[in-house]
Amino acid sequence: MEDMKKFTGQVSTWKQKRRKPLETSVRSKEMDMLNGGLAGKLILFSIPLAFSSILQQLFNSADVAVVGRFAGDQALAAVGSCVALVGIFVNLIVGLAVGPNAVLANLIGQKNRNKINSMVHTILTFGVVLGIGLLGIGMLVARLILVVSGTPETVLDQALLYIRIYFVGIPFMVAYNFGSAIVRSYGDTRRPMYYLIVSGVLNVILNLMLVIGFHMGVEGVAIATLISNMVSAFLILSHLYNRDDEFCFRPHRMRIDKNELKRVLMIGIPAGIQGAIFSVSNVFIQSGINMFGEAAIAGSSLALNFEYFTYDIANAFAQAAVTFTSQNFGAGNMKRCRKIFGLCLLFGFGFTEILSVIFIVEKDFFVSIYTTSAAVAAYGIIRMDRVCSLEGLTATYEVTSSCLRGTGKSLEPSVITILGTVVFRLIWLTTIFRMVTTFDMLMNVYVASWLFTGGLMFVVYFFHMRKLDKRFAAR
């Protein structure tokens, strides 16, 4: 009996040692965004994000390269015609994911951990509803948007085939982005990157098999993308399921708390609308590109890949800005919030421009990766010279809007983006572009709108921070 008691006591002691306090367990997995130096942490946080996005774009570029080289210019134009439409949905999803990221990071900064698990399940349940809803909407509007944007009849059927298969993967895309937002809120940006590498490599392998091996053309590329989205969603949700803290996911707990959802949507909806509206403006620009024919469509499509590569860096620091700002604003540290803004703006602009210069210097080589057509290459180079070369300017409005959202101000950035990327661009297309109807002048609209949008965003940020300083001083 004594031996049994002794053994039971040892087991009990072992269990107590093994069972860490929740607070300690969670904190050991988090990046401390509230204390210590900022520059190094912002870079460490942003590099995996940028790398993930660049990898994703590399995998998407593989789609374009495989289609362009092995399925022909017509297939490339078909995929290119869908870029703007895909962008609307992708940017809407990514924008909406800002809400979960900001709200959870704010709860961490406030040390209000009791609400986190309920918030996690509200976020993921809403993600399921959103994904199914977007799938249905996408199927309904696909043909209409492609026709309105001026997609040539010669590639319309192939474009529709591609986009409809692509849309089947939207629920999985939502799951991955919302799951990644949850993980990023406590400072882990590496794990989503690893999952993206796995799904991306799979995407490339399937591209080669289906397009080259089975001669499936655009449908092969779309199926490969669908499967890779399914894999990335499965991996991120599996990670959350296997956690043993307040960030864990359990299917039987899935429900929507109206008050929690409201908090998420107050930030997420304006950010999502901003992203979608941004892409809507690109639909109008795409209609202008379509005026110049299949070679222009294909050339613009391939050049767009390099813009995505560079933009991904600016966007990574914007995501860092919203997460770090949310936590520090929750903790009431306004001085640190200002420092986050300055560093993210500097890093976002600087690192983006470094990559842009590399692409411009070796533009002939990079364009040749995607096409062997001289006509397609010529349009691609024009777009790179006019747009990609100054992609760093996107940091002026992306970082600033993220810092505003980190302090709970999400509506104004969206309004400014609508003014700068829709209204301004429409005015440009209906006035300046009509007077000088060249591909060069059409491309100039991007840089002009970035300068306009960034300038307005700076003004709003300046006055908002002054208002917050007065509020905190009065406490």
Q: How far is CA 58 from CA 94, 95, 330, 374, 440, in A?
A: 18, 21, 36, 23, 26
pLDDT for 399 equals: 95
Q: Which phi and psi (to 5°) does residue 169 adopt? A: -85, -5
Return the amino acid letter for 225.
T
pLDDT range class, residue 179, cuts 50, 70, 90: very high
For the segment 259-263, the average pLDDT, to the nearest whole number, is 90
State how far the Cα of 117 lies from the Cα of 75, in Å rounded to an integer. Answer: 46
Q: Residue 80 pLDDT more than 80?
A: no
Residue 5: pLDDT above 50?
A: no
Q: How far, in Å, CA of 91 to CA of 306, rounded?
A: 17
Mean pLDDT of the chain: 85
pTM exceeding 0.85: no
Beta-carbon contacts of residue 358 (< 8 Å; ≥ 6 apart): none
The three-class DSSP label of residue 288 is helix
CA distance 326 to 309: 26
pLDDT value, residue 152: 81
Segment 390-425, tens digit of pLDDT = 999 999 999 999 999 889 888 888 889 888 888 899
| Whether pLDDT at 12 is above 50 | no
Q: What gap in Å lies between CA 200 and CA 445, rounded to an integer?
A: 32
Query: pLDDT value at position 474?
Result: 66
Predicted pLDDT of residue 360: 94
pLDDT band at 475 (very low <50, low <70, confident <90, very high): low
Structure tokens at 67: 């289609």
Query: Cα dihedral angle (410, 415, 420, 421), rounded to 10 degrees?
Result: 80
Which three-class secondary structure state does DSSP give residue 30?
coil
Q: 472, 334, 347, 475: which is closest to 34 by C-alpha?
A: 334
Per-residue pLDDT, 9: 47
DSSP secondary structure string for all residues of 60-108 = HHHHHHHHHHHT-HHHHHHHHHTHHHHHHHHHHHHHHTHHHHHHHHHHH
Closest CA to 337 of 404, 412, 264: 404
Q: Which two tokens stand for residue 144?
A: 């209409």
Q: Is residue 28 pLDDT above 60, yes or no?
A: no
Helices and strands of the chain, counted as H and E runs: 21, 0
> How far is 396 from 22, CA to CA, in rounded Å?
39
Residue 105's pLDDT band, with cuts at 50, 70 and 90, is confident
pLDDT value at position 458? 95
As a whole number, mean pLDDT of residues 450-471 equals 91
What single-letter amino acid sits at 186? Answer: Y
3-state helix, strand and coil shares in percent for the chain, rounded to the nearest 5: 85, 0, 15
Residue 339 confidence class, pLDDT cut points 50, 70, 90: very high
Which pairs with CB-CB distance under 8 Å and at least 24 residues apart come from 429-435? 429/284, 429/285, 429/288, 433/288
**Can you tell me the mean pLDDT for 423-436?**
91
Q: Are 67 and 79 within 8 A, CB to CB?
A: yes
pLDDT at 23 over 60: no
Query: 59 and 205 in contact (C-beta within 8 Å)?
Result: no
Cα angle 363-80-67, degrees, rounded to a multiple of 5: 80
CA distance 222 to 202: 13
Q: What is the pLDDT of residue 30?
A: 67
The mean pLDDT value for 289-313 works out to 88
Pairwise CA distance, residues 309 & 331, whole Å: 34
How far apart, in Å, are the Cα atoms of 313 and each of 25, 54, 395, 422?
A: 31, 8, 9, 23
For the cut 80, the answer to whether the pLDDT of residue 58 exceeds it is no
379 near 295, Cβ under 8 Å?
yes
Rounded to whole angstroms, the Cα distance separating 80 from 236 reads: 29
C-alpha 326/C-alpha 187 separation (Å) is 12
